[in-house]
Amino acid sequence: MNILLLISAIMALIAFVIHGIAGEITDIKTLLKTDYPESYKIEVRMVWHAFTIDMLFNAIILFLIAIGDSIQEFEALIIVLSLKFILFGFTCLGVILYTNKSYILKVPQWALLFLLGIICGGALFI
């Protein structure tokens, strides 16, 4: 069993739960109360939960690889997942810095995504 991939799987599962439930309650419900066009609200909500589902599948994939005997045959997939998390982190950080730098600590998801990418990719080196 690869402990770093197991940690990555657990982190992705926690992110799935928090993003799907807390995000719906805090961010999405607030958005739905605004005067923005319905199409905008629907699109943002769809993308929000598409990311949530992506996190669930990341957790499942990482868990299945982590409990296996060897990760060598999955190296390319691990690299892709690691890079995806890191790019998601850069995307979040970039949006925050471009939009309102004062939110860098108020919206810390970027840090979790960087950490997830580093831990996931680090599994190839132990």
**Confidence check: pLDDT of 126 > 90:** no
Per residue in 20-73, pLDDT (tens digit) is: 999 999 999 999 999 999 999 999 999 999 999 999 999 999 999 999 988 999
Q: Is residue 36 packed enough to be buried (19+ CB in 10 Å), middle (13-18) or exposed (0-12)?
A: exposed
12-26 core/surface letters (b: 16 or more CB in 10 A; e: else): bbebbeebbeebeee
pLDDT above 70: percentage of residues in the chain: 100
Looking at beta carbons, which pairs linking 56-64 to residues 24 or more positions away fall under 8 Å? Answer: 56/12, 56/13, 56/16, 58/9, 58/12, 58/85, 59/9, 59/10, 59/12, 59/13, 59/16, 60/9, 62/5, 62/6, 62/8, 62/9, 62/12, 62/120, 63/5, 63/6, 63/9, 63/13
